[in-house]
Structures are given as C-alpha cells and as structure tokens.
Amino acid sequence: MFGLNGRNGRRRKAPGIRALLLLLLLFVAEPASGIQLAVMPLEDLSKGDNGLNPAMTDRLCEALGRKGFAVVEEKRIIDFMAKNRIRWVGRLDSQHVLRLRQELGIDYLLLGSVNQVREKEPAALGISLQIIRASDAKIVWAGGAQLCRADVRKFLGLAEPRNLTEIENIVVGRVMEILPHELPEISEGSTGNLAEEIHLTPEVVKPGETMRCRVRFSESKQGWLSPWLSTRKL
C-alpha cells in the first residue's frame, strides 16, 4: 500500500516537474533583450572591391542570437537589398537605414568589414564592426578584433588555434566580449525632412561658375523644389 501511494505521489508530481522544465526552456530560448537587429553582409576587403564574407556573417548572426538579440532572417536582408538596388556592402546611407527600419521593423543595424584574411601559416583574421541606431541612423558603437596564430604560440602547441576556422571562432568571441550589454535608448526623432534625392549641376565645375542644387524630400515633402541654393566658387 505504501509503495502504491508512493507511485501515485510521483505521478502527481510529474506534470508539475514537466511544466517547470517547459517554462525554463522557454525562458532560455527567448531573447533576453528582444532587440531587432539586422546584420548586413560583411564586406571582405581581402577579396577586392565589394567582396563578401558569408561565413563570418553567419558566425556573427549565430553569436548575436546567443547573446540575446533577435537577428533578422538573412533572406529578408537580401530581399531588401535587391528591392532597393543596394549593390555595395560595408556601408549604408541614412535614407536606406531609415527605410530598413520602416520595412523590417528593426531597432539597430550592424555593419562590418573583414579587414584581413590569411589562410596560409600563420593564419590571421581581423574585423571591424559598427552598430547603427535605425531610428536616426546614428552610430552608437564601433569596435573590432583581430588575431594572428603567431601571436598565440604556446608550449608544445597546447590549446593553440590550429586553422583559420578556429581563429574565426576566437575573433567572434572577442567581439561578443566587448559588445555593450545594453544599447542606447531608441530615438524617436523626426525623419520627415530627410532628402530622398539630391542633384548638383553641373557635374564638372570651373572656377567662378555657379552651382545649383535640387532636393527632393521623402514622403512628407513631395515633388521637386525649385533650385534653392546657388553658390559661386571663389
């Protein structure tokens, strides 16, 4: 009889334990900050003009996700770039930053460059990153990390990075260490007066010649304004 009551007691406790474990799993899986972060494809300067480094981009996305950021799906970023005819990486003008916020609902944007990649011995890697607040296109953090295998020589080679992949992991880990735990508050400043297009004429200016500027503002200001600025080069 005692054994039967014990089993019944364990059965009664089991649902409560399962519910507690489920809550713990949900708590761990949910991003700690809930900040929507768009990671743009990383520029790779070692590959020449407009080179890309998809592997490092993926590593950063995974690490940022583990840190608690809600990272925007890569396909949505690529679709945005295609729709807006963005053909460069490593930089983004303020108008596209604001448009990215409007279309994808992001809070912040991460831009970066791989400044050095060397697979031959000694392998090396260096990256630089910046976080931009999407509400006003302001840089709120900038940093980077680098590592060369020659700089981490250890006795008998113990715990040394053996290849470029392991160096990439270390560099990403260092970036996550210096990344701020809390980002500045999101600014809700007005963006209605930002210019959508600016035309300067003539393209080639001679000394003493007058330049004219035409500005078209986005959404809140429609149509071309009359030339409002005229300057003369001295």
pLDDT digits (tens, 9 = 90+) for 25-51: 444 444 445 789 999 999 999 887 778
Angle between helices 54-67 and 164-178 (to 10 degrees): 40
Q: Is the pLDDT of residue 66 over 80?
A: yes
Please say whether the dihedral angle defined by the alpha carbons of residues 81, 66, 132 and 147, taken in this order, is positive or negative.
negative
Q: What is the pLDDT of residue 116?
A: 87
CATH 3.40.50.720 for the 33-178 domain, yes or no: no
The count of other CB atoms within 10 Å of the CB of residue 128 is 19
List the chain domain ranges: 33-178, 195-232
How many angstroms separate the CA atoms of 2 and 125, rounded? 66
On whether the pTM is more than 0.85, the answer is: no
pLDDT: which is higher, 208 or 190: 208
Q: Is the pLDDT of residue 176 over 90?
A: yes
Q: What is the pLDDT of residue 188?
A: 61
With CA atoms as reference, report the closest residue to 194 among 217, 163, 219: 217
Q: What is the pLDDT of residue 216?
A: 66
